[in-house]
Amino acid sequence: MIRLNCPVCGLRDETEFTYLGDATARRPKMDETDPKPWVDFVFFRDNPRGSHKEYWHHVLGCRQWLIVERDTVSHDISSSSLAKDVSA
Amino acid sequence: MSARRLPEGGRIDRSALLQLTFDGRSIEAYPGDTLASALLAADEAIIARSFKYHRPRGIVAAGVEEPNALVQLRSGARTEPNTRATTLEAYSGLNATGQNAWPSLKFDLQSVNRHLSPFFGAGFYYKTFMGPFKGTGFWMTCEKFIRKAAGMGKGDHSPDPDSYQTSNAFCDLLVIGAGPAGLAAALAAGENGDRILLIEQDHELGGSLLSNPVGGQSDTWLAEMRARLTALDNVKILTRTTVFGAYDSDVYGAVERLWDHVETVPPHQHRQIFWQIRAKRAVMATGAIERHLAFGHNDLPGVMLASGVRSYLNRYAVLAGRSIVVMTNNDSAYGAAIELAQAGASVTLADLRRTPPDGLSKRLDAAGGTVLAGHGVLCALGRKRVSGAQIAPLDERGQSCGAARKVDCDVIAVSGGWSPVLNLWSHRQKKPVFDESAWCFKPSADALPTLTPVGSAVAAGTLQNTIADGAKAGAVKGVMPDLASDNPDADHWVRDISPVWRITGANGKTTGKAFVDMQHDVAVSDIELAHREGYVSVEHLKRYTTTGMATDQGKLSNMPALARMAELLGSSIPEVGTTTFRPPFTPTTVGALAANDAGHHFAPTRRSALHDWHVENGAKIMQAGLWLRPWYYPDSGEDLDAAYRREASHVRDHVGMVDVSTLGKIQVQGPDVAEFLNRIYVNGWKTLQVGRIRYGLMLREDGIVLDDGATARLGEHEYFMTTTTANAAKVLALAEQLLQTEWRDLKVHVTSVTDQWAAMAVAGPNARDVLASAFETVDLSAEALPNNHFVKAIIDGIQCRIHRMSFSGELAYEVYAPAKFGYHLWAQIMAHGATYDIRPYGMESMGTLRIEKGHVAGPELDGRTTLHDIGLEGMASSKKPFVGSVLRNRPRLADKTRPTLVGLEIQGDTGAKSGSILYDMTGSTDNHGLGWVSSTTYSPALGKYIALGFLAEGRERHGQQVRVIDFLGTGTQTATVTSPHFFDPKGVRQNG
């Protein structure tokens, strides 16, 4: 079990969160009509070994979306912050 | 008789006598005994029959590493298979039987398998899958016999009568293992004021010191440590508790066996507690396990680990044999040999090394033992237990280089050196390093900053080192009491080991079957066979031969197997590497892990605010996700079919009320809500006025339909969104995600209010009259409240909202009330409605009504369908982008042959089954068909069975006939394809 440091609630168990995935994938602008960037955004993800910025949702807590930096090999968490506070 | 209880000594309480039963025979034991020590004292040689060959097996070890002495404990629902007799505390009334034997342990008919062993080598099971026979027939035949003959204890299928508990623990320092290193760590840290959790799998603190002779210096030290630790309030000690797994973020799993040492769990007590431990850091003082050696018939009852023989002698006062041959490749077995000789056994020590240690040899001599340098046991002799040993001079590779001779003995005590218990380390995905001097894999001391292995777990040289190591890991401060070892020459195990693991005859082969993994019956010859068949990776070797895959996870077998593999490959043991240990360290009761999350508590139960009314009024309740919902309300004598048909007709003819409280409800607030809704729904929202309701559909990012529902505009900046019951959580999470990540420019806040509102739909021609009677002051006329409008209303002081909208196709209203007043409101409407013949209706008839109308629901919005597939592409706005607006136009999704929503009129007098496949009237059915049936019902309004389904080019096929085939059951039916809007397609009734 991973434990995540929620900026609102403190250190909490993984079981309180849901996982979404890569937080560096940028959603195209709403008025983007070219399917290519949408396909990239929706279907393609890197699978990096090592540091990974990813979205976690504190769904059984404050319901905030977090950006967590996790090492995909060791599961070490190096940072976690509220998605809404991080400049896009 | 050979094994016997000594008249004095041991850590047992001789003042009480316990009566145990093993295989129907009465056995005596003392408190402090294990089942194994009691069996040994009673000279029970055969405890179980082996997994594959049904060979007789006896006690090998005195701890968790025991591979052979597994018993079936208790009977009935409380029976527990594969219980290690060596860790099971003796208690009065204990009843165990030997495993895997018929008719008896002493005479097992299936032991004929041992003569068939050439056919049961590594991979034999897989080989039955392959030729010379075609197909799977041969395997299916073999499998029955294999399953019956192979195996260990038997499980029981009845529910576990005991209860379990989960508990959470937090600490500054978790100390795993209460041997010398662990005690030192706990005390050093504890006296510094840290919050300590000290966990020991035994029922007593002391670890390896408990195997020292009673009354020695180590007992004095132990007593002082125990006293000082128990005096500290900040040290919590859990005994009979096994830390079975180490996980990320310094989380540990442990099971405390509260009542496994008594006959039955006392009333109102939990049998075991599953501890989830969150530790700031941990000290791993898990010790080491002695290794076996490979030689002929090394599985014969009477062949034991030297450390096991020593534990039985010193801790339990049981002398395992009168005449004992000790074989060792290192110094550590000398201590056992000397103590055994002093206890009166005749001891012959075969030292695999050419030059035995001088001091130790002299002390053994003085005690009356004999040392044979450069000798080893080629094979154990005896049929059902050891009666002798074939001993021969050996060269430095362990190969016989002279005449063998027979030595009479009843026990062969073996030491192949020691392996650190690094399982928890391995759980954390760390690779161990190989120690060339101790010939073992061990954790590297600093690879994990928060998990420090100490003592024997890192092959510490001496007892003093072990204690110092533990204290240092516990805290920088803290003063330890000194402990001088009882036996300075033999107190530890790393000294002078010779890397010989296999004793062979002059021909280089073992004399008889030599086992590496006794629990899985894997012999040296199986490793050799795997090598001949091309296995090079140690991970493949493990899986092919199944070595190390039994319930003991290869605690004894790992090193001999790896050593033989390395030899065959011509490489070194570190080059071959070791396999990864995984949790649990020892077998763990699944009941403890499940704890309270079983039966009724497996998942939370959600009840609507109106639930009690449904129950009081005879509703049949069904589960829908986590919700309990009224299925139907049978009149006397009615079954489901009769009840739902009556309820659906009643709604069309009169009026009915259904509980729709489970709908997802989301309060959406802020100045930018209209823009937010515009983005998340496919249709437009900018024009929705206060007081109005609009139906909306939303897509996923990939353009597939996600959900539908209605949203009401309550005020300037205030909206009330409903979602389907199933997708409520998903939609809320998506809204939160988009608002907090991508759409931070929007000033919108979303809150779930699902549980805050009760909701009921009143539907039918009399619906207006019912509500007008209940809410006297509100004008519900068609002019004042047209479809898709809502009005606020008060009844008995309760603030409600009446939304005019229809799912049933009838004139209908949804009434929303604060949850706590829901029951009252429902009851009021039922009372007012009595004049208009109102009846409640349930999920089943609600489904009928919506299928008659062709409204899509969960079975149609199944995560694969597009707007076009469900015939609602016209709802999508072309004037604005929305979630999924680009990807919904992917070429394959626009494929004209995709199955689209159709109605199906089923011919005959039975309905179709959901999931049936649609085919043309003629042609092969050896394909995926043209579509499928999604929802099905009998339609009272139409007087026939109907269904919704998806059919390729469905819109062009209206009027045609198709075959409806249920491959799982009823066979083939015929259906006429129609519009999905079976009933009142123009919507006259709902707009009246």
Q: A87 pLDDT band (50/70/90 cuts)?
A: low
Closest CB from A33, A34, A57 relative to B737: A57
Locate tokens 């990813």: which residue? Answer: A54
Using DSSP's 3-state secondary structure scheme, residue B568 falls into: helix
In a domain, B285, yes or no: yes
Torsional sign, CA B700, B706, B708, B712:
negative
Judge: A84–B741 Cβ closer than 8 Å, yes or no. yes
Alpha-carbon span B21 to B548, nearest angstrom = 31
Judge: B249–A2 Cβ closer than 8 Å, yes or no. yes
Interface of B with A (CB under 8 A): 247-251, 276, 278, 429, 679, 701-702, 729, 733, 736-737, 740-742, 744, 881, 886-887, 889-890
Give the type of residue at B177.
G
Distance between B887 CA and the closest CA of chain A, angstroms: 6
- B824 within 8 A of B818, measured Cβ to Cβ: no
Give the type of residue at B364.
L
Two tokens at B914?
A: 């959901």
Does A88 touch chain B if contact means CB atoms closer than 8 Å?
Answer: yes
pLDDT of residue A12: 95
- B229 within 8 A of B206, measured Cβ to Cβ: no
| Whether residue B19 sits in one domain with residue B92 | yes
| Whether residue B428 sits in one domain with residue B339 | no
Alpha-carbon span B503 to B376, nearest angstrom = 7
Judge: A57–B733 Cβ closer than 8 Å, yes or no. yes
Using DSSP's 3-state secondary structure scheme, residue A82 falls into: strand
Two tokens at B524?
A: 């040296």
By CB atoms closer than 10 A (0-12, 13-18, 19+), residue B603 is exposed
Residue A34's domain is classified under what CATH number? 3.30.2270.10
Locate tokens 């009252």: which residue? Answer: B824
Does A2 touch chain B if contact means CB atoms closer than 8 Å?
Answer: yes
Using DSSP's 3-state secondary structure scheme, residue B194 falls into: coil
In a domain, B501, yes or no: no
Query: What are B408's strand-pairing partners?
Result: B388
Nearest to B177 by CA among B243, B231, B247: B243
Judge: A33–B887 Cβ closer than 8 Å, yes or no. no
Alpha-carbon span B308 to B414, nearest angstrom = 9
Residue B116 contacts by C-beta under 8 Å, 6 or more apart in sequence?
none
Structural domain count of chain A: 1
Alpha-carbon span B385 to B106, nearest angstrom = 11
In a domain, B391, yes or no: yes
Per CB-CB distance under 8 Å, the chain A contacts of B733 are 18, 57, 59
In a domain, B409, yes or no: yes
Alpha-carbon span B942 to B483, nearest angstrom = 92
Helix B524-532 / helix B538-545 crossing angle, nearest 10 deg:
120
pLDDT of residue B693: 98
Judge: A75–B702 Cβ closer than 8 Å, yes or no. no
pLDDT of residue B445: 73
- Residue pLDDT, tens place only, B54-111: 899 999 999 999 999 999 999 999 999 999 999 999 999 999 998 877 667 777 766 6
Distance between B166 CA and the closest CA of chain A, angstroms: 15
Per CB-CB distance under 8 Å, the chain B contacts of A16 are none
In a domain, B789, yes or no: no
Judge: B251–A41 Cβ closer than 8 Å, yes or no. no
Alpha-carbon span B361 to B509, nearest angstrom = 30
Phi-psi region of B615 (alpha: psi -120 to 50; beta: other; left: phi over 0): alpha
Two tokens at B129?
A: 């899958």
pLDDT of residue B577: 86
Structural domain count of chain B: 5
Among chain A residues, the shortest Cα distance to B277 is held by A1
Alpha-carbon span B952 to B572, nearest angstrom = 64
Does A1 touch chain B if contact means CB atoms closer than 8 Å?
Answer: yes
Residue B553's domain is classified under what CATH number? 1.10.10
Among chain B residues, the shortest Cα distance to A72 is held by B248
Residue B31's domain is classified under what CATH number? 3.50.50.60
Does A57 touch chain B if contact means CB atoms closer than 8 Å?
Answer: yes
Judge: A1–B249 Cβ closer than 8 Å, yes or no. yes
Per CB-CB distance under 8 Å, the chain B contacts of A82 are 740
Judge: B886–A34 Cβ closer than 8 Å, yes or no. yes
Locate tokens 């030192």: which residue? Answer: B184
Locate tokens 């009169």: which residue? Answer: B654
pLDDT of residue B1: 46
Two tokens at B571?
A: 């490489």
Torsional sign, CA B489, B493, B498, B503:
positive
Distance between B743 CA and the closest CA of chain A, angstroms: 9
- Residue pLDDT, tens place only, A47-67: 999 999 999 999 999 999 999
Give the number of beta-carbon pairs within 8 Å between A and B: 66
**Mean pLDDT split into 10-residue runs, chain B, 992 residues:** 88 97 96 98 93 91 96 94 96 92 70 66 65 60 64 85 95 97 94 94 96 91 94 97 96 97 94 97 96 96 97 97 96 94 97 92 95 97 96 95 96 95 92 89 88 92 86 76 59 72 94 94 93 90 89 86 91 87 93 90 94 98 95 97 98 98 98 98 97 97 96 98 96 97 96 97 97 94 95 94 96 97 97 97 98 96 96 96 96 91 95 95 94 98 97 96 91 95 94 83
| Whether residue B403 sits in one domain with residue B298 | yes
Judge: A20–B248 Cβ closer than 8 Å, yes or no. no
Alpha-carbon span A56 to B451, nearest angstrom = 27
In a domain, B120, yes or no: no
- B736 within 8 A of B748, measured Cβ to Cβ: no
Residue B683's domain is classified under what CATH number? 3.30.70.1400
- B178 within 8 A of B198, measured Cβ to Cβ: yes
Residue A87, Cβ neighbours under 10 Å: how many? 4
Q: What is the 3-state secondary structure (H, E, C) of B699-716?
A: ECCCCCEEEEEEEEEEEC
Which run of H or E residues covers position B361?
Answer: helix B358-366
| Whether residue B586 sits in one domain with residue B572 | no
Residue B148 contacts by C-beta under 8 Å, 6 or more apart in sequence?
none
Nearest to B188 by CA among B414, B391, B454: B454
Give me the helices (H) in B775-930, please.
819-833, 843-853
Does A38 touch chain B if contact means CB atoms closer than 8 Å?
Answer: yes
Using DSSP's 3-state secondary structure scheme, residue B334 falls into: helix
- B204 within 8 A of B239, measured Cβ to Cβ: yes
Alpha-carbon span B673 to B684, nearest angstrom = 12
- Give Cα B858 to chain centroid, integer Å: 31
| Whether residue B313 sits in one domain with residue B401 | yes
DSSP per position, B149-160 = HS-------SPP
- B639 within 8 A of B647, measured Cβ to Cβ: no
| Whether residue B475 sits in one domain with residue B584 | yes
- Residue pLDDT, tens place only, B479-506: 666 666 555 554 555 568 888 999 999 9
Q: How far apart are the first and last CA of chain A?
A: 29
Please give the angle made by the CA atoms of B98, B101 and B103, to the nearest 5 degrees. Answer: 110
| Whether residue B85 sits in one domain with residue B221 | no
Query: What DSSP designation does B663 have?
Result: S
Per CB-CB distance under 8 Å, the chain A contacts of B168 are none
Which run of H or E residues covers position B464?
Answer: helix B463-474
Which run of H or E residues covers position B934?
Answer: strand B931-939
Using DSSP's 3-state secondary structure scheme, residue B752 falls into: strand
In a domain, B928, yes or no: yes
Using DSSP's 3-state secondary structure scheme, residue B550 falls into: coil
| Whether residue B403 sits in one domain with residue B302 | yes
Residues in chain A: 88
Nearest to B369 by CA among B413, B323, B307, B305: B323
| Whether residue B264 sits in one domain with residue B168 | yes
Alpha-carbon span B641 to B937, nearest angstrom = 10
pLDDT of residue B477: 64
Q: Final residue of a domain: which of B393, B415, B437?
A: B415
- B181 within 8 A of B209, measured Cβ to Cβ: no
Judge: B251–A1 Cβ closer than 8 Å, yes or no. yes
Per CB-CB distance under 8 Å, the chain A contacts of B741 are 23, 27, 55, 65, 83-84, 88
Distance between B285 CA and the closest CA of chain A, angstroms: 22
What ipTM was assigned to the predicted interfaces of this complex? 0.98
Judge: A38–B881 Cβ closer than 8 Å, yes or no. no
From residue B29, alpha-carbon distances to B35, B38, B90, B318 in Å are 8, 5, 7, 11
Range of the domain at B974: 888-978
pLDDT of residue B125: 63
Closest CB from B249, B702, B740 relative to A3: B249
Nearest to B179 by CA among B258, B63, B68: B63
In a domain, B627, yes or no: no
Judge: B890–A35 Cβ closer than 8 Å, yes or no. yes
Two tokens at B287?
A: 């010790």
Judge: B740–A2 Cβ closer than 8 Å, yes or no. no
| Whether residue B318 sits in one domain with residue B254 | no
Does A60 touch chain B if contact means CB atoms closer than 8 Å?
Answer: no
Alpha-carbon span A49 to B606, nearest angstrom = 41
pLDDT of residue B207: 95
Give the type of residue at B367.
A
Does A82 touch chain B if contact means CB atoms closer than 8 Å?
Answer: yes
Two tokens at B393?
A: 């001079």
Average per-residue pLDDT for chain B:
92
Two tokens at B969?
A: 């059951």
| Whether residue B525 sits in one domain with residue B399 | no
Q: Final residue of a domain: which of B753, B784, B818?
A: B753
Nearest to B840 by CA among B849, B853, B851, B827: B827
Give me the helices (H) in B671-818, please.
673-680, 728-737, 767-774
Range of the domain at A9: 3-85
Per CB-CB distance under 8 Å, the chain B contacts of A27 are 741-742
Among chain A residues, the shortest Cα distance to B889 is held by A35
Two tokens at B810?
A: 């009838």
Among chain A residues, the shortest Cα distance to B887 is held by A35
Closest CB from A35, A59, A74 relative to B886: A35
| Whether residue B973 sits in one domain with residue B897 | yes
